[in-house]
Amino acid sequence: MNTRSMDKVLFIVPPYVTFDRFVSPSFNERTNKKKSGQYGSVMTDMPLGVLSLSAYIKKHTSVEIRLLDFNIVLNKLESFDYRSFPELFRAILLSKEWADYSPNIIGISTLFTPSYYNMLDVARVARETFPGALILAGGGIPTNMYKEIFKSSDSFDALCYGEGEKPLRGLIEAEDRKRFLETHLSWITREKAERKRSFRHDFIEDLDEIPFLDYGLLDLGAYSLNPIQSLFPLAGEPRKSMPVLTSRGCPHHCCFCASHTVHGRIMRYHSLQRIREDFTRLKETYGVQTLVFQDDHLMSDKNRVYAIIDIMKELQLTAFFPSSLALYALDRKMLEALKSIGVNHLILSVESGSDRVLREIMHKPLNLSIVKRVIDDCRELGIASDVSILIGLPGETKQDIEDARAFLKTLDATWFRISMATPLVGSEMLDICIKKNYLKGSYIDGDFKNAIIETEDFTAEYLQSEAYALNLELNFVGNSDLRLGHYETALKGFENVIKVKSDHAFAFYYGAQCCNALGSEEKCRAYKARYREIVETIPFWSECVKRYGLEPSV
């Protein structure tokens, strides 16, 4: 084993948000108040890929590893006094902490396109600050956008194609690192890209070869500032949580997904014994109560899932599933098993209320009868159902959207999240949009809130309007819990909207109805007054009130 004891690795996670959206969040975005103003809210999700890389590399080499996550930096800053993100990057990397560390290998982890320009800027600043360092990048963006990256930047020595554990270990152990980069099929260099070489994944087939993730690399308290669970208040009170990944890969061919470009389509797993050991360690060492599953396709083997649930039941752990679970696998028995470990909220990636769109456009293995059955079972079992919907895919029509609207109104789901179809790099959807010239905005800045696709069937403006109309119709005008008399649950949803958007007239209007039914007279009066104030001063809301026949004053 040829390791260099003086190697110092610095993993960097760029901000998940663009600078413009951070300093000027749009009207429908969550915000974070600082002394110097109101800024976009930045998620503080633990970078599992980095934690896996660190654990694996430390197992096989003697390098020192540290992490700099700029999402944590942004959340911890009491005020933001920088004119750009590069100015922030420079100030942090030039600080005594990182100047003294002086890394000679810098790895930038970039999963999604909102981090694309930040990745380029971090690399440029890192190159200026540590000119002798080997600068690398990995994740979904380098895997799929290496041509664009090398065209835009001369800061990178190499980019990793797919998962990075074995390629990075090989690079660190290599006597001649430049030659290793030029010969290994998972490392993309400018020269190889220009020669149009093909690249190949170098997977770890048995995931048990990866040690227990290096959670010690993190400032754990900082990751509780704004975790993904905060987006889902219906999941209940937050408990001490930690993300886990028990498998990699997904065999499905959903047109909007690109995870296969990094992890492949063949499923790979941790053994049940390893899962038990990891879960026990998380509970005993870190006091974890909730496991946040990040698997792309946890339900690939239902018997394995039942065994995992049994382990969690023994350890008195519960679960949260931000990546959703395959609906076809959520039969009554599975839902009851999840309920038995305290799961009271499920994100359901229905994606469309049109059978045609699901089958012919999305290539998603789901039919609408399954959707209705799962949601009805969830309601009977007391599990909140949070339904995700995409509209505006290439090939979708206005009639498909109307069909979806009609079907979705028949569901007794707890909440609906209506998002714009936004093509991810590496997805079939992006290939179609580029080939047919459907993009009317930058997919690099895509955030699933702003329509960037236009086809022969619809404009971006139409999609934007329809998405918001669906949100109002499903979550407010036709709110299932309000209709069924579950006023406390309905009010929780409305009040979460008020926290995010303090001038949301419909949230105050229907919140007042809930308060009235619950006998909260003072809050009801306050909500009514706020509703009147919003409607009288904001034309957008006065038009919505007329459109849906709400009382102009309550």
Q: Give domain status of residue 212, yes or no.
A: no
Kindly report, residue by residue over 27-47, the tens digit of the pLDDT. 666 677 777 788 877 888 899
Q: What is the pTM of this model?
A: 0.92
Last residue of one domain, picked from the residues 159, 191, 207: 207
- Shared domain check, 202 and 74: yes
CATH number (domain holding residue 459): 3.20.20.70
pLDDT of residue 553: 67
Three-state secondary structure readout of 474-501: HHHHCCHHHHCCCHHHHHHHHHHHHHHC
Q: Give domain status of residue 213, yes or no.
A: no
- Shared domain check, 462 and 496: no
**Other residues' Cβ atoms within 10 Å of the Cβ of residue 398:** 12
CATH number (domain holding residue 109): 3.40.50.280
Q: Give domain status of residue 227, yes or no.
A: no
pLDDT of residue 237: 60
Alpha-carbon distances of 41 from 18, 53, 231, 243, 261, rounded to whole Å: 11, 27, 11, 20, 29
Task: Assign residue 485 a region (left: φ > 0; alpha: ψ between -120 and 50; beta: otherwise).
Answer: left
Q: Give domain status of residue 220, yes or no.
A: no
Low-confidence ranges of the chain (pLDDT < 50): 1-3
pLDDT of residue 274: 98
- Shared domain check, 265 and 167: no
Q: What is the CA radius of gyration of the chain?
A: 24
- Shared domain check, 281 and 354: yes
CATH number (domain holding residue 546): 1.25.40
Alpha-carbon 203 to chain mean position: 23
Q: Give domain status of residue 231, yes or no.
A: no
Kindly report, residue by residue over 399-417, the tens digit of the pLDDT. 999 999 999 999 999 999 9
- Shared domain check, 411 and 284: yes
Q: Which two tokens stand for residue 44?
A: 């503080």
Q: Give domain status of residue 221, yes or no.
A: no
d(CA 347, CA 325): 8
- Shared domain check, 151 and 22: yes
- Shared domain check, 421 and 315: yes
**Other residues' Cβ atoms within 10 Å of the Cβ of residue 286:** 14
Q: Angle, to 10 degrees, between the axis of helix 539-548 and the axis of helix 505-518?
A: 60
Tally of structural domains, the chain: 3
pLDDT of residue 221: 85
Q: Give domain status of residue 225, yes or no.
A: no
Kindly report, residue by residue over 184-239, the tens digit of the pLDDT. 999 999 999 999 999 999 999 999 999 999 999 999 888 876 556 566 656 566 67
pLDDT of residue 112: 87
- Shared domain check, 468 and 343: yes
pLDDT of residue 3: 45
Q: Give domain status of residue 460, yes or no.
A: yes
- Shared domain check, 382 and 292: yes
Q: Is residue 379 helix, strand or coil?
A: helix
**Domain range for 494:** 484-554
Last residue of one domain, picked from the residues 451, 475, 499: 475
- Shared domain check, 489 and 470: no
Kindly report, residue by residue over 322-362, the tens digit of the pLDDT. 887 999 999 999 999 999 999 999 999 999 999 999 999 99
pLDDT of residue 27: 64
Last residue of one domain, picked from the residues 475, 492, 527: 475
- Shared domain check, 160 and 105: yes
- Shared domain check, 530 and 495: yes
pLDDT of residue 1: 44
